[in-house]
Amino acid sequence: MPEVRDIQIPEPSARVASAADELQDMQGEKMVLNMGPSHPATHGVLRIVLELDGEIITKAAPDVGYLHRGDEKIAENMTYTQFIPYTDRLDYLAPLANNVAYALAVEKLMGIDKQLPPRCQFIRVICCELARISAHLLGMGAFALDIGAITVFLHTFTEREKLYNLFESLTGARFTTSYTRIGGLSRDLPPGWVEQCRKFLEEVVINFDETETFLTRNKIFTDRTQGVGVVSREDAIDFGLTGPNLRGSNVNFDMRRAHPYLVYDQLEFDVPYGTTGDAYDRYLVRIEEMRQSVRIVRQCLDKLPGGPVNVPDMKVILPPKERVLTKMEELIHHFINVTQGVNVPPGEIYFGAENPKGELGFYINSKGGGTPYRMKIRSPSFVNLSIMSHLLPGHMVSDITAILGSFDFVMGECDR
């Protein structure tokens, strides 16, 4: 008589449960990886604490503040003009654009933003757009560098070098420009600058084409960026993204178009926006924005009017030095302007400008006098980074560099 054996056939649901247990053992424990604050892909001092399941990110907690200098506190303790150099150090890849945004905010509070001479407004637009080209060139170069295309970085840096030469002859400094003043500019364009700028614009568009041949249809680049870091339109708005990161997610919005400041309403330009919201779209938006910036600067150089660059009010802008030394009234204005600062009326305003990284806003609360009572800097990089804990989970570790690169943030601005 054959031996009888019991065979256990577990229920399907029990089988699934035990398989899941086995899988859990195979996957093992989750690992915590500390990325940054000194990591080349974090573009400065961003730290991200990652929880990993193998190579998949399950949790990401960005940790910011390593570059916090207390700019808002500092602003409460100095005159409006004295704060201009601090704005250089917000988004230090586009200091000229920060200078312009800050000056416009204070001028809005004083109610003189519509009285700026046309030449000043055109020069400011040129500054903003050159700063945008400079910031996007670096952002794009560093993005490509992070995901392995080193040539692009070297290539875009050649053009940035020319830009820095232009900035130097314009402002006297290559990096920390401090070019604007409340009610005007620190100086007019130097002789021959317009021609130099035109020459640069002719050269830089060739560079854009070459950069695109490196990247736009590069299989490695598209594989690493398409479908990676997808931000839906709803998420982009909900998380308050601005600038190219918002436009990459299919939102056709640009402060220069929706609320034109300076002379943007007199200039022709297109606002590029993406459709899928992935890293590749953000790259495409940036490269098109640079072409549009070239278009804007060309129009400004063509239309550039003559005349003064400062508002004709000695209570706002410093009088000419030779008159300060010979005339009593100018001496008094100079003295009051320097020691007490421009007299700003009590009130509160918010001004947001379309900067390379997004909407740089200044909320100024004044009780009158030469110093703000409270100044809040709404920095685009800070807000843009807040989406990371939502966006990164589900991606591979190697996608982080692509996502961070495509977001193009600056920690100087994020941490203030």
Phi and psi, residue 344, nearest 5°: -100, 135
Q: Which is nearer to other proteins, 115 or 186 (CB)?
A: 115
Question: Burial, 82: exposed, middle or buried (Cβ in 10 Å; 0-12, 13-18, 19+)?
Answer: middle
Q: Does 383 bind other proteins (CB under 8 A)?
A: yes
Minimum CB distance to other proteins, residue 56 (Å):
22
Residue 57's contacts (CB-CB under 8 Å, 6 or more residues apart) are: 50, 51, 392, 393, 394, 395, 396, 397, 400
Question: Burial, 369: exposed, middle or buried (Cβ in 10 Å; 0-12, 13-18, 19+)?
Answer: middle
From candidates 308, 378, 393, 397, binder to other proteins by CB under 8 A = 378
Number of residues that bind other proteins (CB under 8 A): 39
The two three-digit tokens of residue 276, written as one number: 């899928």
Q: Which is nearer to other proteins, 64 or 130 (CB)?
A: 64
Say how far apart CA 322 and CA 330 lie, in whole Å.
Answer: 10
Say how far apart CA 104 and CA 113 lie, in whole Å.
Answer: 6
Q: Does 415 bind other proteins (CB under 8 A)?
A: yes
Residue 201's contacts (CB-CB under 8 Å, 6 or more residues apart) are: 294, 297, 298
Q: Does 382 bind other proteins (CB under 8 A)?
A: yes
**118-146 and 399-407 helices cross at what angle (nearest 10)?**
180
Residue pair 383/410 in contact by the 8 Å Cβ criterion? no
Task: Kindly compute the dihedral angle of the four CA atoms of residues 94, 100, 101, 107, in this order, to the nearest 10 degrees.
Answer: 170
According to CB under 8 A, which residues from 99 to 118 bind other proteins?
108-109, 111
Say how far apart CA 77 and CA 282 lie, in whole Å.
Answer: 39
According to CB under 8 A, which residues from 255 to 274 bind other proteins?
258-259
Q: Which is nearer to other proteins, 147 or 375 (CB)?
A: 375
Q: Which is nearer to other proteins, 111 or 305 (CB)?
A: 111
Q: Does 386 bind other proteins (CB under 8 A)?
A: yes
Q: Which residue has the tokens 């649901």?
A: 13
Write the interaction track for other proteins spanning residues 34-73; mark x where CB under 8 A is met and - where it is not: ------------------------------xx--x-x-xx
Say how far apart CA 315 and CA 115 lie, in whole Å.
Answer: 14
According to CB under 8 A, which residues from 219 to 238 bind other proteins?
237-238
Q: Which is nearer to other proteins, 303 or 390 (CB)?
A: 390
Minimum CB distance to other proteins, residue 125 (Å):
21
Q: Which is nearer to other proteins, 193 or 363 (CB)?
A: 363
Q: Does 374 bind other proteins (CB under 8 A)?
A: yes
According to CB under 8 A, which residues from 327 to 366 bind other proteins?
347-350, 352, 359, 361, 363, 365
Output the DSSP codes for 213-262.
HHHTT-HHHHHHHTTSS---HHHHHHTT--THHHHHTT----HHHHS--T
Minimum CB distance to other proteins, residue 320 (Å):
30
Minimum CB distance to other proteins, residue 139 (Å):
21
Among the listed ranges 19-27, 212-220, 264-272, 373-381, the one in contact with other proteins (CB under 8 A) is 373-381
Q: Which is nearer to other proteins, 74 or 301 (CB)?
A: 74
Q: Which residues bind other proteins (CB under 8 A)?
A: 64-65, 68, 70, 72-74, 77, 108-109, 111, 237-240, 251, 253, 258-259, 347-350, 352, 359, 361, 363, 365, 373-374, 376, 378, 382-383, 385-386, 390, 415-416
